[in-house]
Structure 1
């Protein structure tokens, strides 16, 4: 099943009309119709907007989560962080550390937070 088919399936399951979906996402009805008619998929930059409108995860759109082959994948929350934020800089610094130093930092954070 391709992404656009999953979108239509979720819309059907949640009883969301194409008009309502178009209104929620800002994607034109003709574009949405093209997905079904031409068997095309939405562009990557629209996936998060679509997920918000359908109240689903990106995994739900990209993977057949009901398929046993993909059982190990679990829906996760997606966090968007501004590249200029302190949080982003901390994550970048963490990712640059060697694995053993990442573990040490995690232990230090656990100790500071009282875990």
Structure 2
């Protein structure tokens, strides 16, 4: 189940209309309707307000944990926090070049961590 499907699943469980979600989040009803029709997901900067409106955590929205009947506990071994959502917002605001640089930096950090681990094991 993708995020937008999960949103509509939760809305159905809570008997909430698209108009009510729009009112609670400030997101245009046309955008909410597009998620359903086009099977697209909301932008990252909308996720926290959606979570608040649906009274769920970001982890529940992103993973389905505790709400999605298809959720399997082995899917993820970490929790998605509000800080993670804030980081995602920042990532989505980057330009293409900045995004590529960030990915390269993250790969370099991972490689450095692996090298430090090897050195540590040798000592």
TM-score (norm 2): 0.56
Over 3 Å counting, the alpha-carbon distance change for 1:41 and 1:75 in structure 2 is: closer
CA contact (8 A) 2:59 2:79 kept: yes
Aligned residue in 2 for 1:69: 74
Displacement of 1:44 in angstroms is 0.2
Structure 2: state its 5+ residue gaps: 66-70, 84-123
Moved over 4 A (4+): 71-76
- Unpaired segments of 5 or more residues in structure 1? 80-115
Contact 2:25 2:49 survives alignment (8 Å): yes
RMSD (Å) for aligned C-alpha atoms: 1.9
For 1:35-74, what aligned pairs fall within 5 Å after superposition? 35-65=35-65, 66-70=71-75, 72-73=77-78
Say which one has the larger Rg.
Answer: 1
